[in-house]
Structure 1
């Protein structure tokens, strides 16, 4: 197999397999990580290791748009135990502050170790001598150490896209030491927030008593020496220019006007866009809006809430239960407050292409991001990027990573329903001058810290680590 100087390792390949009249083919996935790395992969001799998206699909490595794609086969048992089980029913709830109770099953852990080994071996085979390998996210936390054992010549990075919990929560994990050891196999360990990097460093100190200074963690080696792993925040962002280009298109602006018309041209449109996930605070948002209607502080016809909730992990019990709860809540509120011509909540349990999402952003006067815990929340940044007229209001949970950067948003604690209600009313009534002042500051931040800068900052840190490794080898 051809090898590459730069290898990305992620749970999924950056393509989807589609079946058409002419047979199966591949198309680029719409995900944020794919967009973030697309330009980088075109510029370098790159490979991408990941699952091809279907159980038991056995595919040989192939070239796609100049990138070598290396599929990792996963069985239905792997998906049930490694992915739905350990990744999304153990790690996901634990790392999101135990909003739902994590389950600790040894059979899930065993599968997680086996699958991580499979990814590490595929990456080791795809990497050229002295290559840089960048591992992505919580499904693959053991891969950095496994890779270091297989290929000590590699420079290894890891980026953690979700929160990393405080030690009081993290310590529940029966395999807490093994996961920390897995992550410490990387030369650069990236997090969304400074607080997440701090939580990780504290976990390292509690478990291993290693020295941590600034962003450096001193890791002792068997030969009596040591190496330094960098653990710091690299907040991820969006392709801001791409969203601006879409927002400038006349057809998308016309579609935004159509959306307002289809909703009865209310004075204000509130918008929520989320995966259907218990971390997103959708229930809290619905409760606040329902109470505003009950209190008479907003009225149907004047204000409509549009909630896009894209399907997510529907085979996991907590997600199926969440969907039932939200649909019941929407039905109750609409049944009580809808009129013949207007609806209180337009609930859309489906995914939409980016063009339609930008039209929704343009149509919305207020964006509600009410996450109970979120690594970043790129929807907040997408909304801001599309507001070409510097109008609109972002209501943003302080528990979303985006809150660290987007200081001019109207900040909320989503657990404080009364506070959220007041913030929504404030956003609805906000004067144009204040909207403009806040939105200009938000757009400046999003345009400065775009996805290209995120990628560049990560790769620069990896290059510094690689150069240090070369100096050590030269002096040995």
Structure 2
């Protein structure tokens, strides 16, 4: 039955897996995740979300969550292995992140990618009302816009890429590069995080497809697809309110006491992913301790590493390396009652995260490549006291907006060490003009502003069509 006027199509449904397994359905709100980004936009809005429920085989109908109607897409074990773990995360993900790890190519993965994308497109075509807005999300589903356009030319189709879009020399390595570009170009509007990604896409469309590309978009075979940069953001007001709660302030003080009341606390919150620069960060911290520039009795690094893609070999090996390095640092520089690194491989709820942000003197966000990184913005929003320092990679999308942060090249370990020390030596107990400027930015450019900007541009693109 076609009755949905706003349809979000994403790889996964935004529900908490652990809670759902016990029959309690609630929104998944992990740091920096897609569900976290779209929750404030969709909550209590008449919207439908199509995605995988993270169970193989048939899935029973799901209840609405926060007013959003959920429609599961059925995937087999082979679909998950070849589409999600294979083509999406072992072929596309590495190439889209500067080939930090080598991309792997298998023909059966591409066949699965096509098959699964068609399944998502079919489901969207079935439920979308006439003239509905269908908003397709991210690299897992790059073929869906064109597949959907073929079935339902009446729809207003948007596509948003949350990860970086690579330069031509990397994308050209893909055996199915033309098909991927054609898939995206089925949309009326393609949104990217940064303007450089728009330029990369235009160059590739011209080179691979012979398309006409200008500052507004791309034209192929008479179809015009508008393009633009729409940096995603956070629910700033919600994080500010959470961080202002008495219980969060008290929890932050208790966290520092539990850490041994160090003079300085460094915090990092990442998915456990090789693009996040966790190993480079640990190496820099170890060398600072070894050089005597930092003392374990005075400084603590809290590394939250949220488990991710644990069935993919590259991620299992990364976890082993990170945990070995944490053990090595604590073994070499710790003593009874003092651990230089507190490593936490778990998911924290919003209140606990806000307390961690309030407890940290320095937030270290140093990915090797990142589409945006919403954790950096969350930290800024949580510092309602105007204090704290943000150490931010030049290669995170957020660096283009939060220019007052301590910007660093995470590949340069010596530079990373120097900049970390500089951030630690700033007076974290006093409000700074740098933090005030960043806070003003995330207030003005919050998640609602992002959604309005994108959907307004989509309406304009459809009006032109």
Q: TM-score range by the shorter chain?
A: over 0.9
Taking a change above 3 Å as real, the CA distance of residues 40 and 398 of structure 1, as seen in their structure-2 partners, is closer
Residues in 2 aligned to 1:16 and 1:187: alpha-carbon distance in whole angstroms: 32
Could you tell me which residue of structure 1 aligns to residue 3 of structure 2? 3
Q: CA deviation at 1:43?
A: 6.3
Given that 2:40 and 2:235 are in contact with CA atoms closer than 8 Å, whether structure 1 keeps it comes out as no
Residues in 1 aligned to 2:333 and 2:430: alpha-carbon distance in whole angstroms: 31
Taking a change above 3 Å as real, the CA distance of residues 2 and 323 of structure 1, as seen in their structure-2 partners, is same
Could you tell me which residue of structure 2 aligns to residue 80 of structure 1? 81
Residues in 1 aligned to 2:64 and 2:44: alpha-carbon distance in whole angstroms: 15
Per-residue CA deviation, residues 176-223 of structure 1 (Å, 9 max, x unaligned), is: 000000000011000111111111111101101211111321222xxx
Given that 1:3 and 1:125 are in contact with CA atoms closer than 8 Å, whether structure 2 keeps it comes out as no
Could you tell me which residue of structure 1 aligns to residue 268 of structure 2? 272
Per-residue CA deviation, residues 285-334 of structure 1 (Å, 9 max, x unaligned), is: 00000000000001011111110001011111111111111111111111
Residues in 2 aligned to 1:139 and 1:196: alpha-carbon distance in whole angstroms: 17
Residues in 2 aligned to 1:303 and 1:344: alpha-carbon distance in whole angstroms: 7
Residues in 1 aligned to 2:106 and 2:223: alpha-carbon distance in whole angstroms: 34
Q: CA deviation at 1:231?
A: 1.3
Which deviates the most, 28-37 or 393-402?
Answer: 28-37
Match of 1:336 among 321, 332, 336: 332
Residues in 2 aligned to 1:20 and 1:47: alpha-carbon distance in whole angstroms: 18
Q: CA deviation at 1:349?
A: 1.2
Given that 1:90 and 1:103 are in contact with CA atoms closer than 8 Å, whether structure 2 keeps it comes out as yes
Could you tell me which residue of structure 1 aligns to residue 167 of structure 2? 166
Give the unaligned 5+ runs of structure 1: 221-225, 470-476
Given that 1:17 and 1:24 are in contact with CA atoms closer than 8 Å, whether structure 2 keeps it comes out as no
Per-residue CA deviation, residues 19-71 of structure 1 (Å, 9 max, x unaligned), is: 689x6342222154334434544565422111112111423475444333221
Residues in 1 aligned to 2:101 and 2:425: alpha-carbon distance in whole angstroms: 35
Q: Secondary structure at the match of 2:339?
A: coil
Which deviates the most, 433-442 or 165-174?
Answer: 433-442
Given that 2:389 and 2:435 are in contact with CA atoms closer than 8 Å, whether structure 1 keeps it comes out as yes
Could you tell me which residue of structure 2 aligns to residue 144 of structure 1? 145
Could you tell me which residue of structure 2 aligns to residue 305 of structure 1? 301
Could you tell me which residue of structure 1 aligns to residue 53 of structure 2? 52
Could you tell me which residue of structure 1 aligns to residue 439 of structure 2? 443
Given that 1:135 and 1:144 are in contact with CA atoms closer than 8 Å, whether structure 2 keeps it comes out as yes
Q: Secondary structure at the match of 2:136?
A: strand
Per-residue CA deviation, residues 228-253 of structure 1 (Å, 9 max, x unaligned), is: 21111100000111110110111111
Residues in 1 aligned to 2:83 and 2:364: alpha-carbon distance in whole angstroms: 33
Residues in 1 aligned to 2:17 and 2:326: alpha-carbon distance in whole angstroms: 35
Match of 2:423 among 427, 441, 444: 427
Residues in 2 aligned to 1:334 and 1:39: alpha-carbon distance in whole angstroms: 40
Residues in 1 aligned to 2:246 and 2:50: alpha-carbon distance in whole angstroms: 39
Residues in 2 aligned to 1:352 and 1:465: alpha-carbon distance in whole angstroms: 40
Residues in 2 aligned to 1:389 and 1:43: alpha-carbon distance in whole angstroms: 31
Per-residue CA deviation, residues 65-121 of structure 1 (Å, 9 max, x unaligned), is: 433322111111110110011111111111111100110000111000000000000
Residues in 2 aligned to 1:444 and 1:274: alpha-carbon distance in whole angstroms: 24
Structure 2 counterparts to residues 359-378 of structure 1, below 5 A: 359-378=355-374
Which deviates the most, 127-136 or 429-438?
Answer: 429-438
Could you tell me which residue of structure 2 aligns to residue 352 of structure 1? 348
Taking a change above 3 Å as real, the CA distance of residues 121 and 450 of structure 1, as seen in their structure-2 partners, is same
Residues in 2 aligned to 1:20 and 1:152: alpha-carbon distance in whole angstroms: 36
Q: CA deviation at 1:369?
A: 0.8
Q: TM-score, normalised by structure 1?
A: 0.94
Taking a change above 3 Å as real, the CA distance of residues 60 and 279 of structure 1, as seen in their structure-2 partners, is same
Residues in 2 aligned to 1:434 and 1:422: alpha-carbon distance in whole angstroms: 22
Q: Secondary structure at the match of 1:134?
A: strand
Taking a change above 3 Å as real, the CA distance of residues 193 and 437 of structure 1, as seen in their structure-2 partners, is same
Kindly tell me the number of residue pairs found equivalent between the two proteins.
463
Taking a change above 3 Å as real, the CA distance of residues 214 and 19 of structure 1, as seen in their structure-2 partners, is closer
Q: Secondary structure at the match of 2:343?
A: strand
Taking a change above 3 Å as real, the CA distance of residues 18 and 324 of structure 1, as seen in their structure-2 partners, is closer
Given that 2:27 and 2:66 are in contact with CA atoms closer than 8 Å, whether structure 1 keeps it comes out as no
Residues in 2 aligned to 1:232 and 1:294: alpha-carbon distance in whole angstroms: 46
Q: Does 1:29 align with 2:28?
A: yes
Residues in 1 aligned to 2:279 and 2:404: alpha-carbon distance in whole angstroms: 25
Q: Secondary structure at the match of 1:388?
A: coil
Structure 2 counterparts to residues 206-285 of structure 1, below 5 A: 206-220=207-221, 226-285=222-281
Could you tell me which residue of structure 1 aligns to residue 178 of structure 2? 177
Given that 2:25 and 2:63 are in contact with CA atoms closer than 8 Å, whether structure 1 keeps it comes out as no
Q: Secondary structure at the match of 1:144?
A: helix
Residues in 1 aligned to 2:389 and 2:10: alpha-carbon distance in whole angstroms: 34
Given that 1:18 and 1:26 are in contact with CA atoms closer than 8 Å, whether structure 2 keeps it comes out as no
Q: CA deviation at 1:5?
A: 1.3
Residues in 1 aligned to 2:271 and 2:18: alpha-carbon distance in whole angstroms: 22
Given that 1:372 and 1:399 are in contact with CA atoms closer than 8 Å, whether structure 2 keeps it comes out as yes
Compute the RMSD of aligned alpha carbons. Answer: 1.7
